[in-house]
Amino acid sequence: MQALQIFGDRDLRLTEVAPPPPPGPGEVQVRVRAVGLNFIDVWGFRGMAFAKRKLPLTVGAEAAGEVAALGEGVEGLAVGDPVALYGAMTCGRCRACREGRDNLCEEVGGVMGFHIDGFARERVTMPARLVVRVPAGVAPEQAACAPVAFGTVQHMLFDNARLEPGETVLVHAGGSGIGTTAIKMAKAIGCTVFTTVGDDAKGEKARRLGADHVINYRTERFEGEVRRLTKRRGVDVVFEHVGPETWNGSLLCLKRGGRLVTCGSTSGVSATMNLMQLFQQQYRITGSFGCRIENIRQSLDKMAAGMSPVIDTVLPLHAFAEGLARLESRQVFGKIIATL
Ligand SMILES: [Zn+2]
């Protein structure tokens, strides 16, 4: 069968690999239909994987497909069911796993497509507990946005930042996959959304998604604009994933006791900050990585209820590298999906 593998820095190739073994007890074999591209793929592509990884490695951290075969003892799934796949090989036994805090697994085997083989292949055999059934009316290209894009945002905004209806939130990079999702999820509960974008065309699209205040960070200082628009009070929550370029500005946008939640740092990995500001303003800063399996179910339910992901491009699998180049150049609005 075909798989898309990385052989070295910026060297992706479509290759023939052996099909996975038939599913054992408690396992499911899935025919992969759609793979979501994420910034973690760009990091892997650039050769910036932090942990050891064996090359070649099958890429793809986020995917959906349908059940092709069931192992012994699997309940609640049938052959042909559409499914979305959890993107990390958790142990299923540790305390965090047992309590449903899957992304804090103490024995995690790695992130799919980054540390270990991912989903960009025709078939994959997975533990059934990492396979989530997709409700009716959600297409594979949409379901492929649930495990990372929607799941991450659901976890950041609601589990970590505890965003409440009526609060104010600043969403950075409102044209990105997670930015577009955050705007939609925050607006759906009646929040006032501020967002930053890199050009006016994206700003117009962000406004159409419901963003109340759109700031072009290339022409305006976003922190000044947010403070002006909130009458110097600041916002309740900042949704960060840019990093050093925006970090201190983001802190200046927070009201006293405000919460900043971050899941990424596309502009670099180190920033300095004023600790007096941190404790005097009583900020709460939370790191967030991935999501709980329950967040994927919540995300799919939101999609089934009409909150569709914003999809920038759907590409064939062999054009995955073009998709990564688009992500890297920030010339996207929403998600890029590869189909197979
Ligand atoms: Zn575990």
The pLDDT value recorded for residue 54 is 85
pLDDT in tens, the chain (340 residues): 999 999 988 899 999 999 999 999 999 999 999 999 998 898 888 876 555 788 899 999 999 999 999 999 999 999 999 999 999 999 999 999 999 999 999 999 999 999 999 999 999 999 999 999 999 999 999 999 999 999 999 999 999 999 999 999 999 999 999 999 999 999 999 999 999 999 999 999 999 999 999 999 999 999 999 999 999 999 999 999 999 999 999 999 999 999 999 999 988 889 999 999 999 999 999 999 999 999 999 999 999 999 999 999 999 999 999 999 999 898 899 999 999 9
Q: How far is the CA of 118 from the centre of ligand 1 (A)?
A: 19
Model confidence, pTM: 0.96
280 burial class (0-12, 13-18, 19+ CB within 10 angstroms)? exposed
For ligand 1, an ion, list residues with CB under 5 A: 90-91, 94, 97, 105
Amino acid 266: pLDDT: 87
How far, in Å, from the CA of 163 to the mean position of ligand 1?
27
CA of residue 119 to ligand 1 center, whole Å = 21
CA distance 315 to 37: 10
The CA 289 to ligand 1 mean position distance, Å, reads: 15
Confidence at residue 49, expressed as pLDDT on a 0 to 100 scale: 57
By the 8 A CB rule, do 33 and 340 touch?
Answer: yes
Domains of the chain: 2-145+309-339 (3.90.180.10), 151-287 (3.40.50.720)
Rounded alpha-carbon distances, angstroms, from residue 268 to 48, 174, 185, 218, 255: 12, 19, 27, 18, 25
Query: Distance from the CA of 40 to the center of ligand 1, in angstroms?
Result: 21
Task: Give residue 180 CA to ligand 1 midpoint distance, Å.
Answer: 31
Q: How far is the CA of 105 from the centre of ligand 1 (A)?
A: 4
Q: Rounded to the nearest whole angstrom, what is the distance from the C-alpha of residue 52 to the centroid of ligand 1?
A: 20
CA of 129 to the centre of ligand 1 (A): 12
* Triad 47, 289, 150: Cα angle to 5°: 105
How far, in Å, is the centroid of ligand 1 from the Cα of 80? 28
Q: How far is the CA of 95 from the centre of ligand 1 (A)?
A: 7
Query: Which residues touch 144 (CB under 8 Å, ≥6 apart)?
Result: 33, 34, 35, 36, 62, 63, 64, 84, 337
Instruction: Locate the DSSP E strands across 78-208.
Output: 82-85, 123-127, 131-133, 168-171, 192-197
* pLDDT reported for residue 9: 86
pLDDT digits (tens, 9 = 90+) for 154-206: 999 999 999 999 999 999 999 999 999 999 999 999 999 999 999 999 999 99
Question: 4, 12 in Cβ contact below 8 A?
Answer: yes
